[in-house]
Chains A and B, each alone.
Chain A
Amino acid sequence: MTTVTVGAARGAMRAPGPRGPLSARVLPVLAAAPDTVPEDDRAALLVAAREAVASTTDLLRDDDVQLTLFVLYELHYRGVAGVDDRWEWDPDLLRARAVLEDAFERVLRGRVETPTGVPADRRAVADALFAMTAPGPGPSLARFVGRRATRDQLDELLVHRSVYQLKEADPHTWAIPRLEGGAKAALVEIQADEYGGGAPERMHCELFAVAMRGAGLDATFGAFVDQVPAVTLASVNAMSLLGLHRRLRGAITGHLAAFEMTSSLPNRLYGDGFRRHGLGPDTTWYFDEHVEADAVHEQIAGRDLAGGLAEQEPALVPDILFGAAVCLYLDELVAAHVLDAWEHGRSSLREAA
């Protein structure tokens, strides 16, 4: 086998184990240099993607599809250890990914409900987003964590979150060059704060790493991917899907708005859960920071970013609301999965491979 020296960049995640026929087909191909892979193996990627999509019963809970998408998207972020960086723009790989993405987007559009008849007006769009994200009285993962979660369950929460929060903000940053004017300035203002306002130790991804280490967990990106279920990966993959396609720029801004609007109050409760178990201010800094930061970001995201974009590009209003609905829907799916496992005394994670 060819020794691959590229694709081992700092921060590249460890290659996860396969979860079915598709990932079992894709991962070994990625381990080879692109110019050494035979045509038959390249052609098999597309076939395997089509078969995975055709045979799945629930794409959002399909471990094989969501893990494959997660790995393929990671090629656009920090890479995967042992995977040649040239795979990022390999046409055969992109063709296979497009099959998964088309199905993923179709499922999301079919499942989420978005308000209709919202005018392309900044106040109306912000109001619609705040209404969609209004705190509800129903069961909530944050309330469970704040009051009842065991110490082990706190670790599980961090493990689920780690597949996004150790690269927090990155998927939404893809949208910056796709926007202009006030909407762009608003996104940059939010992201600059996410990235620590110029102080690397204050970057939100770094605060999350501090929280993980405070809890005694490995804060290397991707260290726990093998343990994270499909629904959690789907919630991260959705951000990459919306962020990487300029066509979906409205949706990624709506996603960010909903994300920020559902953050301050839950993060207070998450912090309470960690304090309840005696974890110190280093560990809870991440959560405390989000209580304050996201109360700022939600205003900017709802009014200047999403509302501003709606006025610039009125045709994007339905997608702005779609992106917000995707965020809420997948958050709920993850929360329901975790709460169901915990209520039945099970782990919400997969057995480590």
Chain B
Amino acid sequence: MTTTQPATPPEGAAPRPDRFAPPRIVACPDGPILVRGDVEIVDDEGRPLPRRRRTVALCRCGSSAIAPYCDGTHKAIGFTTS
């Protein structure tokens, strides 16, 4: 990905966000970790894992049958993050 300098905003204007928002990770309470943006997801040897959608949910409870992605099992086992 090439990086471009954002245009200088006019005097007094709110700063514009970069064209591409930085990757963002959301830790969902009692649930998975949502990942948005340009992040490579790899296995422990650095091989890319399939990424089938723009926003993915990574398993946090350790019981997903489709790890590293979430399959909702945390709800069936009563997993909590607090």
Residue ranges of A at the interface with B (Cβ–Cβ < 8 Å): 123, 126, 130, 134-135, 189, 192-193, 197, 263-265, 268, 289, 291-296, 298-300, 303
**Count of B interface residues, CB-CB < 8 Å:** 22
Q: Which residues B25-70 have CB closer than 8 A to chain A?
A: 26, 28-32, 34, 52-57, 65-66, 69-70
Cβ-closest chain A residue relative to B56: A296
Residue from the list A126, A193, A289 in contact with B54, Cβ < 8 A:
A193
Q: Which residues of A contact B66 (CB under 8 A)?
A: 291-292
Residue B7 is within 8 A (CB to CB) of chain A in the complex: no
A263 to B32, CA, bound (A): 16
Q: Is the CB of A295 within 8 A of B70?
A: yes
A/B interface sample: 13 pairs, CB < 8 A = A135-B75, A193-B55, A197-B54, A264-B70, A268-B71, A291-B66, A292-B52, A292-B66, A294-B72, A295-B69, A296-B53, A296-B55, A299-B28
Residue from the list B30, B52, B54, B72 in contact with A295, Cβ < 8 A:
B72
Q: Which residues of A contact B54 (CB under 8 A)?
A: 189, 192-193, 197
A294 to B53, CA, bound (A): 11
**Count of chain A to chain B residue pairs whose CB atoms are closer than 8 Å in the complex:** 60
Q: Which residues of B contact A126 (CB under 8 A)?
A: 29
Residue B76 is within 8 A (CB to CB) of chain A in the complex: yes
Cβ-closest chain B residue relative to A202: B52
A212 to B32, CA, bound (A): 32
A299 to B54, CA, bound (A): 14
Query: Separation in Å of the A122 CB from the closest CB of chain B?
Result: 10
Question: Contacts A292-B52, A296-B53, A300-B55 known; A134 to B75 CB distance under 8 Å?
Answer: yes
Q: Which residues of B contact A303 (CB under 8 A)?
A: 28
Question: Contacts A264-B72, A295-B70, A296-B34 known; A197 to B57 CB distance under 8 Å?
Answer: no
A145 to B75, CA, bound (A): 21
Nearest 7 pairs between A and B by C-beta? A264-B72, A295-B70, A296-B57, A295-B72, A299-B28, A291-B71, A295-B57
Query: Separation in Å of the B57 CB from the closest CB of chain A?
Result: 4
Question: Contacts A135-B76, A268-B65 known; A295 to B71 CB distance under 8 Å?
Answer: yes
Q: Which residues of B contact A293 (CB under 8 A)?
A: 53
Query: Separation in Å of the A21 CB from the closest CB of chain B?
Result: 45
13 other A-B residue contacts (CB within 8 Å) besides A264-B70, A264-B72, A293-B53: A130-B30, A192-B54, A197-B54, A263-B72, A265-B73, A291-B71, A292-B70, A295-B70, A295-B72, A296-B34, A296-B70, A299-B28, A300-B34
Q: Which residues of B contact A123 (CB under 8 A)?
A: 29
Cβ-closest chain B residue relative to A133: B75
Query: Separation in Å of the A258 CB from the closest CB of chain B?
Result: 13
Q: Which residues of B contact A264 (CB under 8 A)?
A: 70-72
A291 to B71, CA, bound (A): 6
Q: Is the CB of A130 within 8 A of B75?
A: yes
Cβ-closest chain B residue relative to A264: B72
Query: Separation in Å of the B54 CB from the closest CB of chain A?
Result: 6
A157 to B38, CA, bound (A): 38
A107 to B27, CA, bound (A): 39
Q: Is the CB of B53 within 8 A of A193?
A: yes
Query: Separation in Å of the A339 CB from the closest CB of chain B?
Result: 20
Q: Which residues of B contact A192 (CB under 8 A)?
A: 54
A182 to B55, CA, bound (A): 16
Query: Separation in Å of the B72 CB from the closest CB of chain A?
Result: 3
A130 to B31, CA, bound (A): 11
Interface centre among B26, B56, B75, by most chain A C-beta atoms within 10 angstroms, is B75
